[in-house]
Structures are given as structure tokens and as C-alpha cells.
């Protein structure tokens, strides 16, 4: 186990949504390997069961439950699981998200707007609504919301996604201000394109096109994003709250 105090999560209870794939899956492994007890949620039950089995097989304490983050009840029940299984909650990562189909603003219909806002925005707000009281009860905790580079600037052809991810940053800053005096830190992370299934599904031609827009001329590795997540969750990052950290190979420096 990693004994670096910066990354020592021993005994901490960590909830992660969207844990069956991509960043969420990798983060679960990293936190579990560093001593955290895990509460994992995802709409993909088979994927969730697989990762929970893998982690449990390596002696990591883990509970997993189907959770559609667009359902307030599901989000409440995932937090209840943290309480009933492990007696509370120290870390929460509102990571579950969906990619939009490419379409112009004029082509974007209400159904697509609802889909994006329900998962990518309300999923985060429902999470916060139930995670915060449990953390406040214990006078402390850390929450990380997953936004995007599309939360910091315009994102042609994915207007609804950009709107939801911008809103995640507004909600993050608001939650940070409302809860700083209660010892709860709330930050957001804003990755540029990284090679999770959400992006690899688009094929190599799209990846090359996207990489060309990055100063490093490559897309991010999921591990590089998860390293930044671990840093923001670290028990040593005690004076950092209300931030939206870009993890983008330099894109936001343009």
C-alpha cells in the first residue's frame, strides 16, 4: 500500500458514481489500493458487479449498488448505503456522465437538453444534496465533481453538454462557499479529452483530430486525470476549495 501521507486514504469511506468504467473505475482501484472503503454506483449493473468483484477479491472493502444519478431517490440511497455499511462518508466523487451526439445548437431538441441536464447536472446536484449533510454531521469531507473543458469554454456541436458542465462549476463553487465553514471542501475537475471508453468509441481519426487541438499534441491518459482527482481528494489539500482544475495538456493556456 502507498504510505505517502499525500495519498493515504486509509479508513476513509469514498463514494464514486459512474464507477463501472473510465475515470470512475480507475479511481475506485486507486482509492481502494490506498486504504479507502468504497461505495460504488453506476447505471451499468453488470460493469459495476465486475469491478466490485475484482476489488473485493483484492481485499478492498466495497459495496456496489445500481444508481441512476438522474434519479434523486437512487442518489439518496447510494449515500444511505455509505451510512449503513460504513457509518458515514468522507469522500464523494460525482463522476457519472454521458457524452452527447454532435449537433448544432439549432438542431438540439428538448429531449437532448433534458438528457444532458438530468444526468450531467442534476446527477451532481442530487449527489451533493445527500452527501453534504452526512459530511457536515462529521464536520468534514471532500467532494469532487467532474466537469470538463466544455465547462470552461464554448464547445461547438455539444451545446447541452457544455451548458450542463458549466453549471457543474457554478454548483461546485456555490457548494464550496455554503459548506466551507462546516469543514467540507468541494472542487471540480475539468479534463480535456482522455482515452476512456467515452472517447475511444469515436475511433482513431477523431482522436487524432482532437489531439491536434492540444498543445501536447495528444489526448490524456485516464491515469493522468485520476492522478489529479487523487490530488484534489488528498487529506493534505486542506485549504483548496471551490476550484475548477483543468487537466488538459495545456489547452486552457491558449
Instruction: Tell me which residues are annotated as active site.
Output: 161
The footprint of ligand NAD on residues 173-202 (CB under 6 A) is 191, 193-194, 196-199
Per CB under 6 A, which region of 16-24, 136-144, 172-180, 235-243 contacts ligand NAD? Answer: 16-24
CB of 246 to ligand NAD, least distance (A): 10
β partners of residue 144: 93, 187
- Would you say 70 or 108 has its CB closer to ligand NAD? 70
Can residue 52 be called a binding residue for ligand NAD (CB under 6 A)? no
Contact between 23 and ligand NAD by CB under 6 A: the answer reads yes
Residue span 115-154 as binding mask against ligand NAD, x where in contact by CB under 6 A, dash where not: ----x--------------------------x-x------
CB neighbours of 35 closer than 8 A, spacing ≥ 6? 1, 8, 9, 10, 11, 12
* Residue 86 near residue 138, CB atoms below 8 Å: no
Kindly indicate which of the ranges 30-38, 93-101, 132-140, 235-243 contains the residues binding ligand NAD, using the contact rule CB under 6 A. 93-101
Contact with ligand NAD (CB under 6 A): which of 2, 8, 61, 68?
A: 68
For position 70 contacting ligand NAD by CB under 6 A, the verdict is yes
Stretch that binds ligand NAD, among 1-9, 39-47, 50-58, 235-243 (CB under 6 A): 39-47
Query: How far apart are CB 204 and ligand NAD at their closest, in Å?
Result: 15
Task: Kindly state the smallest distance separating residue 187's Cβ from ligand NAD, in Å.
Answer: 14
Tell which one of 13, 14, 20, 91 touches ligand NAD (CB under 6 A).
Answer: 20
Contact set with ligand NAD (CB under 6 A): 17-18, 20-24, 42-44, 47, 67-70, 95-98, 119, 146, 148, 191, 193-194, 196-199
Amino acid at each position: 500500500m502507498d504510505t505517502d501521507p499525500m495519498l493515504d486514504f486509509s479508513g476513509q469511506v469514498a463514494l464514486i458514481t459512474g464507477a463501472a468504467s473510465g475515470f470512475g473505475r480507475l479511481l475506485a482501484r486507486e482509492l481502494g489500493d490506498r486504504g479507502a472503503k468504497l461505495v460504488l454506483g453506476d447505471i451499468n449493473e453488470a460493469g459495476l458487479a465486475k469491478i466490485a468483484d475484482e476489488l473485493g477479491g483484492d481485499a478492498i472493502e466495497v459495496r456496489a449498488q445500481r444508481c441512476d444519478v438522474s434519479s434523486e431517490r437512487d442518489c439518496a440511497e447510494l449515500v444511505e448505503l455509505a451510512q449503513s455499511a460504513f457509518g458515514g462518508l468522507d469522500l464523494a466523487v460525482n463522476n457519472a456522465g454521458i457524452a452527447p451526439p454532435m449537433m448544432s445548437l439549432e438542431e438540439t431538441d428538448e429531449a437532448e437538453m433534458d438528457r444532458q441536464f438530468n444526468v450531467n447536472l442534476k446527477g451532481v446536484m442530487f449527489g451533493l444534496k445527500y452527501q453534504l449533510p452526512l459530511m457536515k454531521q462529521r464536520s468534514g469531507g471532500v467532494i469532487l465533481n467532474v466537469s470538463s473543458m466544455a465547462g470552461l469554454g464554448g464547445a461547438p456541436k455539444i451545446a447541452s453538454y457544455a451548458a450542463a458542465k458549466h453549471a457543474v462549476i457554478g454548483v461546485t463553487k456555490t457548494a464550496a462557499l455554503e459548506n466551507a465553514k462546516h469543514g467540507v471542501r468541494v472542487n471540480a475537475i475539468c479534463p480535456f479529452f482522455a482515452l476512456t471508453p467515452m472517447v475511444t468509441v469515436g475511433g482513431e481519426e477523431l482522436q487524432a483530430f482532437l489531439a491536434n487541438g492540444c498543445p501536447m499534441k495528444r489526448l490524456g491518459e485516464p491515469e493522468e486525470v485520476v492522478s489529479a482527482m487523487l490530488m484534489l481528494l488528498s487529506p493534505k489539500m486542506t485549504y483548496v476549495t471551490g476550484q475548477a482544475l483543468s487537466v488538459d495538456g495545456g489547452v486552457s493556456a491558449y
